[in-house]
Amino acid sequence: MFELTLQAIVSGLLVGGVYALMAAGLNLIFGVVRIINFAHGDLMMVAMYAVYWLFTLSGIDPYVAVLVVAPALFLLGVFLQRVVIRPIQGSSPLMIIFATVAVSLVLQNLALMLFQGDFRSVQTSYSIAVLDAGPVLVSVPRLIAFAASILLFAGLFLFLRYTYVGKALRAVAENRTVARLMGIRVERIYLLAFGLGSALAGIAGVLMMPFASAYPTVGTIYTLLAFVVVVLGGLGSMEGTVVAGLAVGLIETLTGTFISPAVKEIAYFGLFIVILLIRPQGFFGLGKGTEEVGLK
């Protein structure tokens, strides 16, 4: 029983790390640009295919591929913000939601057309490596994904807290009008936030590829999960995102293991509803009102 619990906790934390990383990118876009990006998981899907093709065609290791994939996804994010979002940014929030859903559909169907519905995986020497740590077993690529995700969070936290650009990002997240009055070039911050957010989705895709398969609709479930994590953790709060991501992973694995796999979704969506009711700004939200996402 002790071993089972310990293993469930470890497995839950490992999954949660990836959820948190997915959500970090969404949180930047959601918190700073204030748009609900339904294509977030599909950006991860694009990155997964990129890793797959780089590996299959030129033998580039998935972890090395991050050097190409992350910048490419950054540019894709900037492109989307500039070409799709900016022209309609002042219009109704619903319009923007439709636009991101359209981007999601375009990306999914492009993938379907180009690569069919097949499940694409990369096989590396470490794909199935397992670390035997006494009472628990730890998959090596999952551990790498977890560790990389925690490191990225630390970097992101420092960046947002101590650099000028990071402070500008936070300022825009808190109040874009005042930020503009203070001389921050809000349009540029939007481009940066969307680019960074996409790059983070890309890195999440890279880190998952050694143990997951790419297929056209792989992003859909992650988009949903990332939204849950962002709202639980609080808009604009990176600490909140880490805590919420790990919490969702833990809840999923523990309820799945000790109650039934059938209830694991019920458990974290249930928590999601409770948090929305009693603390809508999330665990670490920036205060009342920040949850409104410009929907008025």
Partner 1 sequence: MKRAGTIAGVLILLLGALLLSPAALAQQEIRIGAIYPRSGSLALLGEESWRGAEIARQERNEAGGILGRQIVFVNADAPNVNAARSEAERLISQQGVQLLIGTYSSALSMAASEAAARRGVTFFELGAISDGITQRGYKTVFRTNPTASMFVAAQMAFLRDWMAPQMGKEPEQLRVAIAHEDSDYGTSVAENMRREAERLGLNLVSVQPYSSTSTDLSSVILRLRAASPDVIVAVSYAQDAILLQRQAHELGLRSKVVGTGGGHSLSSFYEALGDLAEGVFNVDFTQYEVNTAFTPGLEEFRERYRATFGEEPRSGHSLANYMGAHVLFDIIERSGGSLDPERIRASTLSYVVRPGQLATGWGVRFDETGQNVGATPLVTQWRGGKLVTVWPEQAAVMAPVLIE
Query: Given the rule CB under 8 A, which residues bind partner 1?
Result: 4, 7-8, 11-12, 15, 118-121, 123, 127-128, 130, 137, 139, 142, 211-213, 215, 221-222, 225, 249, 252-257, 260-262, 264-265
User: Please, which residue, 234 or 256, has the CB nearer to partner 1?
Assistant: 256
Phi and psi at residue 280, in whole multiples of 5°? -60, -20
Which residues are within 8 A (CB) of 193 and not within 5 positions of it... i.e. 6 or more apart? 28, 29, 32, 33, 169, 172
User: Please, which residue, 5 or 163, has the CB nearer to partner 1?
Assistant: 5
Write the secondary structure of 250-276 as one string of H (helix), E (strand) and C (coil): HHHHHHHHHCCHHHHHHHHHHHHHHHH
Write the secondary structure of 142-197 as one string of H (helix), E (strand) and C (coil): HHHHHHHHHHHHHHHHHHHHHCHHHHHHHHHHHCHHHHHHCCCCHHHHHHHHHHHH
The residue whose two tokens read 């929907």 is 295
User: Please, which residue, 10 or 107, has the CB nearer to partner 1?
Assistant: 10
Beta bridge partners of 130: 139
Report which of 122, 75, 78, 84 is spatially closest to residue 103, judged by C-alpha positions: 84
Residue 172 Cβ vs partner 1, minimum distance, rounded to whole Å: 32
User: Please, which residue, 241 or 255, has the CB nearer to partner 1?
Assistant: 255
Phi and psi at residue 92, in whole multiples of 5°? -65, 145
Tell me the longest C-alpha to C-alpha distance in the chain: 59
Please provide the size of the chain in residues. 296
User: Please, which residue, 174 or 265, has the CB nearer to partner 1?
Assistant: 265
User: Please, which residue, 218 or 243, has the CB nearer to partner 1?
Assistant: 218
Residue 246 Cβ vs partner 1, minimum distance, rounded to whole Å: 13
Residue 1 Cβ vs partner 1, minimum distance, rounded to whole Å: 9
Spatial contact of 32 and 286, defined as CB atoms under 8 Å apart: no
Question: CA–CA separation, 198 vs 215, rounded Å?
Answer: 18
User: Please, which residue, 40 or 120, has the CB nearer to partner 1?
Assistant: 120
